[in-house]
Amino acid sequence: MKGLSSMQASIINSYGNLNIYLTSYLRYKGNNVTYRDVAFIYELTIITLGIFMLVGNIVQKRLGERITILACSLMTFLAFYLSSVYAHSYILLCIFMGFFYAVGYGICFTIPLSCAYKHFKNNRGFISGIIISAISLSPFLYCPLQTMLINKNNVSPVQKKINNSTEYYFDDKDVLNRVPNVLFLQSIIFLIFATMGGFLATMEVKMDNDPEIKKQKKNLLSEEKNSNTNNVDKNIVDLEKNEEGYVATDKHKYNTNTDSNNIDIKNDNSRSAKSMKKKKKRKFGFGFMNDDKNNNDDNDSKQKGNSLFGMLTLDRIFTDNYIGKYYNKKCTEDKFFFLLWISVVLFNCYINFVIMYWKIIGINYTHVEDKLITLNGSFINSLSNIAGRIIWGIIYDKIKINYTIFLLGICIIFCCFILPIISHVYIYYALVCALFYFCIGGSLVTIPVITLKKYGETHFSLNMSILYTSRIANTFLCSIIVSSFYKMLQLRYLSYAFGIISSVSTLLMCILTK
């Protein structure tokens, strides 16, 4: 049931398929827009989503999870209903599809994961993959629905020259007039899914019937008993040692009283010898044989120097950043959290590019008909994305985080550099898109897994919300890259830039998650 609430909100993953239809419809209504302009709606959605995830933590505590889901489902319905009414206005689409919808989605985003973690205490990576895989089902459901309803007769787009580049847009009036109807139909689907998810989801866990909690209680009780017995044994040993010490001191007093006269005589003779030895040490030591006070001062100064130098070394990052030190604490207490946040920003930067432009690249370079690209692409991409979220989640459970990130980074880099080479061959293009979505599944699982394994379950919603704001930053970064090189380079060659960024971020994340 948690998957239903995820599916209703995950229409965002079908924005890439909807881009060409919305752009063509807006141009038909007199708006001078391009693919790049309509892609801004997706970017605005991600930015607003990241911001209101922080607000969602407060709203969930005030209203509760169930009421929050129902309220957000109503907001999602209104957002797409109003988008269908005002689909002719680019600015209003930005407001309703880009902002208003993202507010509702952001507030309830962490609820499915946080509720699932209450029920399942083991294999959290696998559980994260299953819950988030419901989001991956949305392209499989929504993309074919959009294409079959809007372009039911499989009309081909028309080639047009824009900004010294060739782009393809629809100009068939029957196709374009169906766009608002699809937006309205999707709003009804969202309302049904979210309402069912809100009513059927189980938010609370019965503490008495949970076998995992019973095991934890037994372990705690056994640890307390062992600690108490150890303390008693330790106290007995200490008492025995004290009694032996008293006996030894009595004997020592007797011996010292009898031998005091001999010791006084020996001390008079040894004082002069000790003074001569100290003079020799100072004379032949060249300043190295100083007293204990000077040695302590030197050691203190060396320790200060080493501590300052240690802050700049990788070893200090490894020791201060190991998994477990900040467990069940707020991520803001981690001194190196900002570096981790930056690395996640760079690591996931490619996601926005792939989601928004995969279909446009296929239409512009493979010259395959729209319906075939949509049906095959949505089916293959959805399945590979679901498989990616589950398989990468299992890998996160089996091996260390940094090893998994390294493997995932290699796959991302390979896809980014191979896409421009094979984009004109449809079969290779479809396979690379599938591998891209397989990697996207792993990248999106990475955020909750790092949050849970590094910072624990106590502050999961807050920590997840803070770390997910990296999606805002990588959306900005992706937008800057595309807008800067969109006119100079062909769309497919922009993939090289994201491959370089992924290479740097993979190394940085491997260091920070060691």
Q: How confident is the model at residue 177 (pLDDT cuts 50, 70, 90)?
A: very high
What's the pLDDT at 262?
47
Of 2-11, 174-183, 213-222, 254-263, give the lowest mean pLDDT range.
254-263
pTM over 0.75: no
What's the pLDDT at 224?
52
What's the pLDDT at 205?
52
Cβ pair 508, 343 in contact under 8 A: yes
- d(Cα 120, Cα 107) in Å, to the nearest integer? 23
pLDDT surpassing 90 at residue 4: no
What's the pLDDT at 428?
94
Read off the pLDDT of residues 71-128 as tens digits, 9 standing for 90 and up: 888 888 899 999 999 999 999 999 999 999 989 888 887 777 777 767 666 666 666 6
pLDDT surpassing 60 at residue 450: yes
Q: How confident is the model at residue 231 (pLDDT cuts 50, 70, 90)?
A: low
What's the pLDDT at 41?
92
Between vectors from CA 95 to CA 91 and to CA 98, what angle results, nearest 5°?
Answer: 110
Q: pLDDT higher for 286 or 182?
A: 182
Core vs surface per residue 21-53: b (16+ CB within 10 A) or e: bbbbbbbbeebebbbbbbbbbbbbbbbbbbbbb
For 2-204+329-512, CATH number out of 1.10.8.60, 2.60.40.1080, 1.10.1240.10, 1.20.1250.20 equals: 1.20.1250.20
What's the pLDDT at 91?
95
Q: How confident is the model at residue 345 (pLDDT cuts 50, 70, 90)?
A: very high
What's the pLDDT at 135?
66
- d(Cα 69, Cα 296) in Å, to the nearest integer? 63
Structure tokens at 403: 């090893």
Read off the pLDDT of residues 126-138 as tens digits, 9 standing for 90 and up: 666 666 666 666 6
What's the pLDDT at 419?
92
Query: 160: which DSSP letter?
Result: E
Read off the pLDDT of residues 291-322 as tens digits, 9 standing for 90 and up: 444 444 555 544 444 444 444 444 444 444 44
Read off the pLDDT of residues 351-380 as tens digits, 9 standing for 90 and up: 989 988 888 888 888 888 888 888 888 888
Percentage of residues in the chain having pLDDT higher than 90: 24
Domain parsing of the chain, residue ranges: 2-204+329-512, 211-250
Percentage of residues in the chain having pLDDT higher than 70: 67
Cβ pair 363, 441 in contact under 8 A: no
